[in-house]
Every structure is written in structure tokens, then in C-alpha cells.
Amino acid sequence: MDRLIARFVQYNGEDLELVDVYKNGTKKELIKENKIDTISKIYPTARWFERKIKDDFNVLINKAYDNRVLVHHERFPVVHPMKKEFDLKEELKEVDFVPYHYEVVGGDGVFNVSVGPIHAGIIEPGHFHFSQEGEQILHLEVRHFYKYRGIEKMCEGKTFKDLQKIVSRISGNESVAYQIALQNIKQDTDKNQKLQNAILLEIERLIHHFTDIGFIPNDGGFAAALAMGSKYAEDTKRLLGLLSGSRFGFDAVFKALHVEVHKAKIEDYISVMSKEMEWFEDWVIDIPSLWDRMDTTGIITMEEVLNYGCVGVVARCCGVKEDARYGNEFYESYGYKIAKEESGDVAARFKIRLYEIKNSLLMIKNMLNDLESFETDESFTCKDGEYSSLVESSIGELYMYIKLKDGLVERFYARDPSFINWQALHLMMPRDIIADFPLINKSCDLSYAGSDL
């Protein structure tokens, strides 16, 4: 079965057009009578795509088993912000409260537990609704989109260059990845620019993998690892700040950085981190109580991953070779090797991150040897047409689409890897207890902001 990457709607003249993006091609069709047929019975992750289409464009979904709102929360104004006639200058008024009906499991002794959207930790809002029998999780529904920012609408009418600052700030987790996706659409990237971009992207990947190898053991009861992972992540953020002027890498891809000037400092960083990772892996591998928590916890099967079209570590943890860098001659020439495990559990996702950290350090070292000084092209223009791009962010495959007409953006669409993987999170829960939820959730390291455009 061909993997579904994205499903969205855009204008074709005055008519609405449905766009289905698959791994092996794109299909388009004009929407008739303001209705489309659901494909969610074949592709479960089409469910969120279709609910978003309904909220954004007021397009009805035929034969859908879930017609609930997605981004329109209980008091969301009665508007469909992606329609042409939507005018932001109009006064937006909250509507009467309409309860949202969660998916729940019924039965004797079954009760519900609500977690969020406001959390004890410093994270973005997200709601998790559990059906429980004692400690045992029977079902989980994920509900997000509490901070709808209207980014797709915001980009309409902008020049290609105008997109730089917006795209750079969609998600702090993946700022560099989003920028590279936009840069790739330009399609005339210099070899040295490509090398510099790849170095920045692997540094961004390191930041989040280091964060995860600290937080995953912490949620498994081994807090000492959090101190070390946080230190490694902080050192790497400082390196990114040195190279780009921002610890998040904001605007890094679009300006002259001269990363090669800092070659000695990057090499010192790689040398230190390589030794640290040898020590960390030897240390953490010898904590039986930690592996007791991670082994067989939060399992997702290969069949489930393929059905849901999962990406990133969530796909690779059960043997699926899904990575935008896989089979890419550029990356493989610099030492990229796909990391995958078979068990599909928290332990597998943790081990993949350990491997990818070492692989990223190796690639940065090899890329740095080839990087030469170059002049950044800051004109940043693009001809009219339709463009798409795929980038392997630290979370997984990021998809971006842009349609330009008369030099301006007619449609901007981005599908964050988390938009896919959040939908599969509930599959990892039924074998486990609610105390394991933070551990399972953190092992996937999903983004709230990246999904809520």
C-alpha cells in the first residue's frame, strides 16, 4: 500500500481542489458539491487531515466515521479561515460552549482520566483522555490544536522571501528543518550551502536526541541521566548559537554564517562528545532497573506503523526503513547509516537515538572536511508554480508544499511529522499502565507547535 504523506485542499481558480500526496506520487481532483469521500478506512491518519479540511474550508467528508471538529475548539468562532471570503478584519466572536465528545471505553469498573491541556511541566498545551480499568490503559485519545496560529493563511499573499522568518519560527524543535524545506524548494542550492545546511540539521538533531536520552530515563525513574542529557543538549545549543546567532537556529539557513571559520571548535566539540557518548552508553546500558521499565513498554508493531504511515524514530523502532536520508547519495557519501530496531518499544526508540547521535557526529565531521567558504545567495526568489519538499527532521519526515502565482504565495502547506505520529500514540498504550504514559510519550518526542499551524 502506498504511504499517505498529506491530504489537503487548495483553490484552483475559484474552485476547490483536493490534493492527496503519497510516497509514489500526487493525485488531484476538483471538489464537487463541496464534498469529498473519506479515505480514513484505508489510511487511518487521513482522519485528522479530513477533520482539518472540514474546519478550514467547510468541506463535508462523505462516509467518515469521525466528523468531530479538530482545530475548532469549544468556543472557536463560526468561521472557516482558509476560505477566500474569510476576512480577519471582521470581529471574531466566541460561540456558545459545545461539549467535545471524547472516544471512551465503557463497562463496569471503567473510568476516564483527563490529563491537560495545562500540564505541570513547562510544555505546550495538549490534552490526553484515558479510559482506565484500574491502572491499566484501555484507550487513549489525543486532542491538541489549542494554539491555532493561522500560519497557512498568514503566508497567503506573501513573497517567497517573506516566508523566511515565518517558516523559521513554526516550531522551535525543528527550525532548521523547516528552513531547509523552504530552501530546497528554491532548487538551486550551492554544494557548500547544502553541506552547511546538513551540518546545521544534524546539530539540531543532536540537540533533541540529547534531550531525549536524558528525559526518557528520567521518566523511567533514573533521574541521573537527565542531568547528563541536559548538559549535552546545552553544550550543543551553545554550538548552534555560536554558528547561527540563535540557540534555536532561527534564520540560520538564509544568511551568511561561515561555519567553516569555526571548524576547529566544531572538531573539538565532536571529539569531546564522541568520548562522552562512549561513557554515557556504557553507563546507562548497565542499569537493569531502567531497562526493565523500557523493555516491552509502549510497543508499536510494524503492521501498525505501516497502516498509520508513521515516520521518524517511531517508524524505525520496529524495522521500517523510513527516513528521508535513506538511499540519498549525498548523505550516504558522508557516512549516513539508517538506524532501526525490531522490538518497537521504548527501549528500541532509546537505542536508535543513541546510534543516531554517534552517526550525526560522524557525518558532521566528514561534511566539515569538504566545506569551503561560499557566498550566501540572499535574493531568495522562485518562479511561479507548485513545489514540494521533504526533510528528515529530528522527529521525522517533514513535508512542505508551496504554490506561487504572480510572485506571491497562493497556498502554503506544511505537514509536521508529529501530525502523523500523534495519531498513532494510542496504539502504544493498551498493554501498559497509566504511570508509563510519560515514558512512552517522551520516547516519541512529538511536537505540539509543529502540528498546530
Question: Could you tell me the residue ranges of all domains in the chain?
Answer: 1-101, 159-444
Q: How many residues does the chain have?
A: 453
pLDDT at 435: 93
- The answer to whether residues 22 and 6 touch, using CB atoms and an 8 Å cutoff, is no
Q: What are phi and psi of 133, to 5 degrees?
A: -125, 95
Maximum C-alpha span of the chain: 69
Q: Cα(440)–Cα(453) distance, rounded to whole angstroms?
A: 25
Q: How many CB atoms lie within 10 A of CB 64?
A: 19
Asked if the model's pLDDT at residue 78 lies above 90, the reply is no
Asked if the model's pLDDT at residue 443 lies above 80, the reply is yes
pLDDT at 374: 78
203 versus 255: which is more confidently predicted? 203
Amino acid at 128: F
**Once rounded to an integer, what is the mean pLDDT over residues 403-421?**
96
Whole-number CA gyration radius for the chain: 22
pLDDT tens profile 112-145: 999 989 887 778 899 999 999 999 999 999 999 9
Fold of 159-444: Cytochrome-c3 Hydrogenase; chain B (1.10.645)
pLDDT at 265: 95
Residue partners of 95: CB distance under 8 A and separation at least 6:
75, 76, 77, 78
Q: Cα(138)–Cα(108) distance, rounded to whole angstroms?
A: 13
- The answer to whether residues 173 and 449 touch, using CB atoms and an 8 Å cutoff, is yes
Asked if the model's pLDDT at residue 377 lies above 80, the reply is no
Q: Cα(75)–Cα(210) distance, rounded to whole angstroms?
A: 39
Q: Cα angle at 317 between 218 and 168, to 5 degrees?
A: 75
| Cis amide linkage into residue 117, ω under 30° from 0 | yes
pLDDT at 75: 87
Per-residue HEC secondary structure of the chain comes to CCCEEEEEEEEECCEEEEEEEECCEEEEEECECCEEECCCCCCCCHHHHHHHHHHHHCCEEECCCCCCCCCCCCCCCCCCCCCCCCCCCCCCCCCCCCCCCCCCCCCCCEEEEEECCCCCCCCCCCEEEEEEECCEEEEEEEECCCCCCCHHHHHCCCECCCHHHHHHCCCHHHHHHHHHHHHHHHCCCCHHHHHHHHHHHHHHHHHHHHHHHHHHHHHCCCCHHHHHHHHHHHHHHHHHHHHHCCCCCCCHHHCCCCHHHHHHHHHHHHHHHHHHHHHHHHHHCCCHHHHHHHCCCCCCCHHHHHHHCCCCHHHHCCCCCCCCCCCCHHHHHCCCCCCCCCCCCHHHHHHHHHHHHHHHHHHHHHHHHHCCCCCCCCCCCCCCEEEEEEEECCCCEEEEEEEEECCEEEEEEEECHHHHHHHHHHHHCCCCEHHHHHHHHHHHCCCCCCCCC
**Once rounded to an integer, what is the mean pLDDT over residues 189-214?**
94
**Once rounded to an integer, what is the mean pLDDT over residues 47-64?**
96
Name beta bridge partners: 8. 19
Taking all residues of the chain, what is their mean pLDDT, rounded to a whole number? 94
245: left (phi over 0), alpha (psi -120 to 50) or beta: left
**Once rounded to an integer, what is the mean pLDDT over residues 368-372?**
90
Asked if the model's pLDDT at residue 189 lies above 90, the reply is no
Asked if the model's pLDDT at residue 27 lies above 90, the reply is yes
Q: Crossing angle, helix 191-219 and helix 224-244, to 10 degrees?
A: 160
pLDDT at 379: 72
